[in-house]
Chain A
Amino acid sequence: MKWLKFAARNTLRNRRRSLVTIAVAALGTAGVLLASGFAVRAYQALEQAAASDTGHLTLARSGYFDREEATPLQYGIEDYQALTERLRADPDVRVVMPRVRFSGLVSNGDKSVIMLGTGIDPAAEFRVRGNFVQLHAGTLLGSKQDATAEVMLGRALAQSLSAQVGSELTLLASTRAGALNALDVRVSGIFTTGILELDQRTLYTDIRTAQLLIDAPRVSSLGIYLRGMDVTDSARARIAARLQAGFVLKTWREQATFYEAVRNLYNRIFGAMGSILLVIVLFVVSSAMASAILERMRELGTLRALGTLPSQLIRIVALEGATLGAAGALLGAALALTVSVGLLYARIQMPPPPGRSAGYPLQIAIVPILYGYAVLAVTLLSTACAAVIGRRTTQKTIVEALNHA
């Protein structure tokens, strides 16, 4: 305690220099925490989006994930209703959503455009995933109770076909047997995903319409939605253990190539940024400690003459570095926390990222363990560089130190 008190008092000798050092350490810590908090928030948003898109788990026949289908729904699941019932029995499973993926052409009679279609259970899909697309015009699928087959089109696809809500279109696709099938549908709604490329090709319809078009009572996969992200691995292990041969179960993460790519990119960008900030902190603390030690060379010589061991002297100097570093790190953590909480209330919108048509709220995640690591890292770094500087002073002889002007 005496040593800590001594170190704390030493840091107060040149208050201006200590304040500058603490301020730089604080800004460095806050910078690291805000950047990593931003990245974590982005990861969380992407995780939610990825899990919402596919389901926390996706069940399909072997071959579905890694081979091209020779005919539509070649790897489709036939008795999916019974399988769905069995999956629902798991305590962590909230909803099981069958999906039919198909491709083909959509035509207005004059023009045909390539489309990527998905047959969904509209009621369940919109209930569980919320408005995963932004409705631009019309109504969501399944809102009208008539027998006419309906589709929702991406905005760019609708524009390409000059289609509006209520327009009659024809879907053309290969059947499971290899024949070409056509089905008349009516446009119930026009949506945007926020990504232009998807809006140019995407089309949603109900499962029954998709199965009619492909002429197969199958679904491509079952999206399994769980009670939370954190039960994904345990639920996967449990469900996989009960699966019969010929089925494959994948987590959202195994299918989220975009999420992994963004995460890798952000980790590199923010990792480099954090390293630069820490190097700046290191230089400033080193410089401050070097000046402080130079000014006190005689005093340090006196302490050595009194019997202070070189290792104790290094410890004294290191403790000063630790005091400065810890003060700066704690201040920086408080600053980052204040900014993060402030942003929750400020509701600042970020501009749309490249390729997207909608912005997103600027939010910084508050992760206690990150705060702990950042404070610890800055404190340890300051301690270590102060110790290195302190070690240099012990290489001078006591006589040289005592005679230092």
Chain B
Amino acid sequence: MSYAIDLMRPAAGAAAPVACTLRAISKTYRSGEHTTSALRDIDLAVMSSELLALTGPSGSGKSTLLNICGLIDRPDAGEYRFESRDLGKLDEPSRALLRREAIGFVFQSFNLVPVMSVADNVDYPLLLLGVPARERARRVADMLERVGLAEFAVRRPDALSGGQRQRVAIARALIKRPRLVIADEPTASLDSATAEQMLGLLRELCHAHGTACLIATHDVRLIERCDRVLGLRDGVLQ
């Protein structure tokens, strides 16, 4: 636990408030008689506007940590606070409402809805939030402009390249101005130039909106441009 103090401290120069805090978080998976410790006594604080990279080999627990931070999984032990609010006893609908309002997701394989147009995919989080149609249309158009996809608004995701799809996914994650973005290997299926472009975009938008960004990645290019980098091995933060 000697590293805990460092991990709980905000990154240098980041005087922003804490987006989320994990204290002594553990998670174990059981499959028949086998048990696997995915996370062990994790202590971590993620600051607003911070791009925090999580690195580590496959099976090190990166995705599990992301899932817990993104409120799509629950720890077996420990305390998870989102903006100082303890979420341990929050029921599923309340967690869904908190995700809807405050957390954006960028998935490795984009996870766009194929029957929705680019604009509809980006619009979906606002639709869930009950934003009026006119306001939604304005914000979607603005966001698509910012990610350079304004002319692709009516296209379906399958008509776009991998890079364009990931930009749609980023636009969908950021359209509601979340306080935390969870990105799992966001550049894994992208070429260098597109990955660079995508990271620049993510960084720009997160800083502009004060959004904390927790990224699980192996990508060195991405790691180099993050504000802070943490290693994870066998469920333990290095």
Q: Which 5 A-B pairs have the closest CB atoms?
A: A307-B100, A9-B115, A302-B111, A398-B72, A307-B99
Q: Is the CB of B128 within 8 A of A308?
A: yes
We find that the number of chain B residues with CB closer than 8 angstroms to chain A is: 25
Question: Is A62 among interface residues, defined by CB-CB distance under 8 A?
Answer: no
| Interface residues, chain A, with chain B CB atoms under 8 Å away | 2, 6, 9-10, 12-13, 298-299, 302-310, 312, 397-399, 402
Question: Is B105 among interface residues, defined by CB-CB distance under 8 A?
Answer: yes
Q: Is the CB of B100 within 8 A of A9?
A: no
Q: Is the CB of A305 within 8 A of B72?
A: yes
Which residues of chain A have C-beta atoms less than 8 A from B101's C-beta?
307
Question: Is B201 among interface residues, defined by CB-CB distance under 8 A?
Answer: no
Interface residues of B: mostly helix, strand, loop or mixed? Answer: helix
Question: Is B113 among interface residues, defined by CB-CB distance under 8 A?
Answer: yes
The residue that B107 contacts in the complex, of A9, A10, A302, A312, with Cβ under 8 A, is A302
In the complex, A12→B114 CA distance in Å? 11
Which residues of chain B have C-beta atoms less than 8 A from A12's C-beta?
115
Which residues of chain A have C-beta atoms less than 8 A from B111's C-beta?
298-299, 302, 402
Q: Is the CB of A302 within 8 A of B113?
A: yes
In the complex, A303→B120 CA distance in Å? 13
The residue that A402 contacts in the complex, of B72, B92, B99, B113, with Cβ under 8 A, is B72
Contact with A along B65-90 (1 / 0, CB 8 A): 00100101100000000000000000
Determine how close the nearest CB of chain B comes to the CB of A358; give it in whole angstroms: 58
Determine how close the nearest CB of chain B comes to the CB of A397; give it in whole angstroms: 7
| Known interface pairs A307-B99, A309-B93; A6-B116 also in contact (CB < 8 Å) | yes
Question: Is B124 among interface residues, defined by CB-CB distance under 8 A?
Answer: yes
Which residues of chain A have C-beta atoms less than 8 A from B116's C-beta?
6, 9
Question: Is B14 among interface residues, defined by CB-CB distance under 8 A?
Answer: no
Question: Is B16 among interface residues, defined by CB-CB distance under 8 A?
Answer: no
Determine how close the nearest CB of chain B comes to the CB of A296; give it in whole angstroms: 9
For B113, the closest partner residue in chain A by CB is: A299
Question: Is B154 among interface residues, defined by CB-CB distance under 8 A?
Answer: no
Which residues of chain B have C-beta atoms less than 8 A from A307's C-beta?
96-97, 99-101, 103, 125, 128
In the complex, A10→B115 CA distance in Å? 7
In the complex, A6→B97 CA distance in Å? 21
Q: Is the CB of B115 within 8 A of A310?
A: no
Could you list 26 A-B pairs, sorted by A, with CB under 8 Å? A2-B120, A9-B115, A13-B115, A298-B111, A299-B114, A302-B105, A302-B107, A302-B111, A305-B70, A305-B72, A305-B105, A306-B124, A306-B128, A306-B172, A307-B96, A307-B97, A307-B125, A309-B93, A309-B96, A310-B92, A310-B96, A397-B72, A397-B73, A398-B72, A399-B72, A402-B72
